[in-house]
Amino acid sequence: MSDIAALSRQLLHFSPDALIAVDAHGVIRFANETARAVLGYAPEDLVGRPLEVLLPERFRARHATHLAEFHRDPHSREMGSRVADLYARRADGSEFPAGIRLAPFDWQGERYVAAAIRDATERRSVRDALVAARADAERANWAKSRFLATASHDLRQPMQTIRLLNAAMRRLASGCPDIEDLLHREELAIDAATRLLDGLLDVSRLESGAIKPQLDDVPLASVFADLQREFDSPAVAKALRLEFSQPDATLSTDRLLFTQLLQNLIGNALKYTERGVVRVAARIDPEYLEIGVEDTGIGIPADKLERIFDEYYQVDRAGAPRLGVGLGLAIVREVARLLGYQVSVRSTLGEGTRVVVRIPRQVLRSTGADAASAAADVSVAGSAARGRLLLVEDNASVRTATELFLTVAGYRVLSAASPGDALALAPQLRAGDLLLADYRLGAELTGIDLLHRLRETLGWEMPAILLSGDLDSLLRVVKTPIRSCRFLGKPVDTGALTAAIAALGESPVAANGTGG
């Protein structure tokens, strides 16, 4: 026997797998030495015995059918539709999960099947552990998504109550400097808590996969215009110049996420700039649309740049108070990841920082002036005569606080605890009245459903302001603009609320007036 033949015979007998050869009648004609360790049989004890001896009894009845099917279409394959299907029986009667590979071959004019049998106990244990871990992860992710859906509304409800009560007390305390100072400090604490809650929920939603980008054609000029309106007042309050370029481009993106990314960058720049300018500019090169947010602020030390996008991380400023909680740039990181953008930072300590968002050129849809800036809002401002406010809120404490604030602010309020109560008030409503409702009103109706019902009942287009603790998700649901309707997030900024009422044509009336 040649050396190669001898080596081949050794490899065959001492293969890592038990090897057997079975003839067309299902009789074992060969078994290698490894069969002793895997199956508990000496090779010579297997030869001449039917293959069924290696099968658990519950599988033997089906074996003849499987063997006939294999011979009709013989080819090398893994046996069984799933690893979990396969078990083998040892000589002592014990069973083990088996991995079995089949291969047909012909020898001396007869058809045989070679089977490689491996003990898959360890592999099965790993697989089962992975399946269990995946199930645990899916349950955890579902629980997190459920928590976020609930928290977005329920955690903001008490914040809404506190903010409205603070605003009402500030109006009542006008002319009392000591009390005004205390209420101002309380307002700052409320703002800080609101920012923390918003940041926590935003980061959690982004990281959990609860938010999926919804792409649309978005004119960059209209986004910049919205941002300028939003940040003009904070910039003026710090005597800073806020400059925006006039981009002439439309890109395919998720408008809410894209705006949120820029909001955090601009807000961060204003926060850490005491004098000078915050500049937002866009330029297009052969590969990217680049949006830069540049400031003349305190700058970031070189050894801290790599960490600024970490959650809760803030650059230490000797002797200076902490500003915020360090979630803004973590949100930027997650939004950029979702949208497929790149974000880079350059900074010089004491001179300023420049953050650049690089957006792949292929997302550009067109260039040209935007004639559709109204797409920034789901709402379309209507006109309303002077009237009352129909307040619909199912949370008693929020309803009481809202009614108190509006009354102190000079509005006449009709209050309802449910959609049914609001519809019952319909006969009392008249042109000029305005609906102010929570979007989530229990299982009965949403605020939008209520608005449509009221409009159908009244026969005229009642203007409305709808409040939501999860405004981003709501705006994704509302695909078609609703005329004479504005959407505001909870906890609502009282200035934004009164501005929305004014924009819809409502004017304060005396609390003891007739309202109509």
- CATH architecture for residues 11-119: 2-Layer Sandwich (3.30)
pLDDT at 183 over 90: no
Instruction: Categorize the per-residue pLDDT at 210 as very low, low, confident or very high, splitting at 50, 70 and 90.
Output: low
Tell me the per-residue pLDDT of 224-260, one tens digit each, with 9 for 90 and over: 998 988 888 889 989 999 999 988 889 999 888 898 8
Contact between 434 and 388 (Cβ < 8 Å): yes
pLDDT at 470 over 80: no
pLDDT at 456 over 90: yes
Class of domain 379-503: alpha beta
Q: Quote the CA–CA distance of 360 and 286 in Å, as a whole number.
A: 10
Q: At what angle do helices 156-172 and 396-408 cross, to 10 degrees?
A: 30
Tell me the per-residue pLDDT of 285-305, one tens digit each, with 9 for 90 and over: 888 899 999 999 988 888 777
Strand partners, 348: 352
Cβ partners under 8 Å of residue 401, min gap 6: 160, 161, 162, 164, 165, 168
Contact between 436 and 389 (Cβ < 8 Å): yes
Residue 13 has a pLDDT of: 77
Structure tokens at 184: 């101002």
Q: What are phi and psi of 408, to 5 degrees?
A: -60, -35
Q: Quote the CA–CA distance of 115 and 74 in Å, as a whole number.
A: 13
Residue 441 has a pLDDT of: 85
pLDDT at 369 over 80: no
Residue 309 vs residues 68, 152, 289, 336, 355: alpha-carbon distances, Å: 63, 24, 22, 11, 12
Contact between 124 and 97 (Cβ < 8 Å): yes
Q: Which CATH superfamily is domain 214-376 in?
A: Histidine kinase-like ATPase, C-terminal domain (3.30.565.10)
Residue 371 vs residues 218, 222, 368, 376: alpha-carbon distances, Å: 11, 9, 9, 11
Q: Quote the CA–CA distance of 112 and 22 in Å, as a whole number.
A: 6
- Kindly state the percentage of the chain with pLDDT values over 70: 81
Strand partners, 19: 116
Contact between 447 and 441 (Cβ < 8 Å): yes
Which run of H or E residues covers position 216? Answer: strand 216-219
Rounded mean pLDDT of 35-59? Answer: 91
Structure tokens at 442: 């229990």
Residue 375 has a pLDDT of: 38
pLDDT at 410 over 70: yes
Query: CA quadruple 452, 457, 460, 463: dihedral positive or negative?
Result: negative
For CATH 3.40.50.2300, the residue range(s) in the chain are 379-503
Q: In terms of residues, how long is the chain?
A: 516
Instruction: Categorize the per-residue pLDDT at 379 as very low, low, confident or very high, splitting at 50, 70 and 90.
Output: very low
Residue 47 has a pLDDT of: 93
Q: Report the range of poorest mean pLDDT among 141-145, 220-224, 351-355, 471-475.
A: 141-145
Q: Quote the CA–CA distance of 31 and 17 in Å, as a whole number.
A: 11
Q: What is the DSSP letter of 27?
A: B
Tell me the per-residue pLDDT of 118-161, one tens digit each, with 9 for 90 and over: 888 888 888 888 888 888 877 776 776 666 666 666 777 788 88
Tell me the per-residue pLDDT of 303-339, one tens digit each, with 9 for 90 and over: 777 766 654 445 555 444 444 444 567 788 888 888 8
The amino acid occupying position 363 is V
Structure tokens at 309: 């996008």
The amino acid occupying position 123 is R
For CATH 3.30.450.20, the residue range(s) in the chain are 11-119
Pairing state between β 389-392 and 485-489: unpaired
Mean pLDDT of the chain: 80
Side-chain half-sphere exposure of 468, counting CA atoms within 13 A: 19
For CATH 3.30.565.10, the residue range(s) in the chain are 214-376
Structure tokens at 371: 């004639």
Highest mean pLDDT among 177-186, 195-204, 454-463: 454-463
Instruction: Categorize the per-residue pLDDT at 204 as very low, low, confident or very high, splitting at 50, 70 and 90.
Output: low
Query: CA quadruple 246, 250, 256, 259: dihedral positive or negative?
Result: negative
Contact between 242 and 231 (Cβ < 8 Å): yes
Tell me the per-residue pLDDT of 354-367, one tens digit each, with 9 for 90 and over: 999 999 988 887 65
- Kindly state the percentage of the chain with pLDDT values over 90: 28
Q: What is the DSSP letter of 220?
A: H
Rounded mean pLDDT of 55-78? Answer: 78
Pairing state between β 241-244 and 250-253: unpaired
Instruction: Categorize the per-residue pLDDT at 512 as very low, low, confident or very high, splitting at 50, 70 and 90.
Output: very low
